[in-house]
Amino acid sequence: MSFIIISCKSKTEKKSSTETEEFSVDQQSVKKIDIHAHYNYERDYLPALFNKWNMQGILVDVSIADSVGVNRNWNEYVVHAKAQPDLFFLCSSLIGNGIDELDFAEKQIERLKVEIKEGARMVKVWKNFGMVTKDTSGKFIQIDDERLKPIWNFLKERNIPVMSHIGEPIQAWRPLDDPNNPHYPYYNDAPEYHAYKHPEIPTYETIITARDNWIANNPELKILGAHLGSMSHDVSMVAERLDKFPNFYVEAAARFGDLVGQDSEKVKAFFEKYQDRIMFGTDYGNYTSQQSISSEELKLEEQNLDADFLRLWGYVATKDSIVERGQKNIGLGLPVKILNKFYYQNAADFLKLEQ
């Protein structure tokens, strides 16, 4: 059975009609780009649903190494984007396997040249750097490794930005004993990334420091911090990096629960101050072909995805009560000017999309 990467399915609770109307914005009138999506396969319902939400998406590739080699979704994404060119753009990926080879950087650059021609507008690096992949000496490869420098120089010259999912939420290094933790379901299902149980994994501070060094050492490379830069538990930490690094931006995919868990006025002030540097993302996607699931499952998938979009909209666009991944609060009620930037304009400018 196919499934969507989703948060808890809680419905947005309405406040009084007067208060709701005060912050009412037509969701269809705001153009949207989901800058962090994983729709491997076509769905008959996606064009209509995306049109309903006035939305496009970036299909973000992920490179995962196993005993056989490196698995990717790139080929499926290329097919999907070609079939729906008005809906989807492409993001390639980079992994550190083979970094000790003398021609590692050269090979990766040649591959990226091909994938940029195929439509890649961004390249993703993720938590393999720092947490998983080791070089031949047995050391975890950090993102500021000098052997990666030629690749950053190449991307800078091509004006291709990097999506950076480096590190994990800080809860990954803490005991997983609170079901109300917004990341409890994930680490319960993916214990290999629960660093608390793997003391060999470098500390949160080590990985974030390496990430910060990398940003500082590549000031002309545009970097998008996926998942609020793995600092989603505290928007003050995110703000500190945005102040320090002019080339750093963030998106909120799969971290709305962390935002809901913080003071809404503080989060709203964060969105107001950094309204040109924050983007909308979801981490939603599908991983099986449409032919492999029943019509009932397909309809449920569509309904769940629509409900997820609505819940996230309720958080940023209204002051209604919200429950996200077990966290309860009220919405931000952002003005339409900021909603337009968050949902669309910042991503369009960042990726230089035709408008």
Q: How does pLDDT run across 4-37, given as a tens digit for each residue?
A: 333 333 333 333 333 433 446 788 899 999 999 9
Q: Which residues pair with 164 in a beta bridge?
A: 125, 225
CA dihedral 25, 26, 30, 31 (to 10 degrees): 160
**Percent of the chain whose predicted confidence (pLDDT) is above 70:** 93
Distance CA 331, CA 239 (A): 20
**115 φ, ψ to 5°?**
-75, -30
Please report how the helices 104-117 and 149-158 are oriented relative to each other, as an axis angle in degrees rounded to 10: 20
Closest CA to 239 of 255, 228, 247: 228
Q: How high is the pLDDT of residue 214?
A: 98
Distance CA 101, CA 323 (A): 48
Local confidence band at 355 (pLDDT 50, 70, 90 cut-offs): low
For residues 156-164, average pLDDT? 98
Read off the pTM.
0.92
Q: How high is the pLDDT of residue 252?
A: 98
Neighbours of 55 (CB within 10 A): 23
Q: How does pLDDT run across 253-304, given as a tens digit for each residue?
A: 999 999 999 999 999 999 999 999 999 999 999 999 999 999 999 999 999 9
Residue matched to tokens 């995306």 = 50
**163 φ, ψ to 5°?**
-90, 125
The token pair at 287 is 């991983």
The token pair at 20 is 């709701």
Local confidence band at 2 (pLDDT 50, 70, 90 cut-offs): very low
CA dihedral 312, 314, 320, 323 (to 10 degrees): -20
Q: How high is the pLDDT of residue 17?
A: 35
Mean per-residue pLDDT of the chain: 92
Decide: helix, strand or coil at residue 216.
Answer: helix
Distance CA 234, CA 248 (A): 17
Q: How does pLDDT run across 50-102, given as a tens digit for each residue?
A: 999 999 999 999 998 887 788 999 999 999 999 999 999 999 999 999 999 99
pLDDT > 80? residue 160: yes
Q: How high is the pLDDT of residue 6?
A: 35
How many CA atoms are closer than 13 Å to the CA of 109, on its beta-carbon side? 16
Q: Which residues pair with 249 in a beta bridge?
A: 224
Closest CA to 343 of 29, 21, 15, 2: 29
Q: How high is the pLDDT of residue 285?
A: 96
The contacts found for 70-76 with CB under 8 angstroms, 24 or more apart, are: 70/95, 70/97, 73/38, 73/40, 74/115, 76/40, 76/41
For β-strands 327-330 and 321-324, DSSP reports them as: antiparallel
**Percent of the chain whose predicted confidence (pLDDT) is above 90:** 88
Q: Which amino acid belongs to residue 321? A: S
Q: How does pLDDT run across 196-225, given as a tens digit for each residue?
A: 999 999 999 999 999 999 999 999 999 999
The token pair at 329 is 């609060």
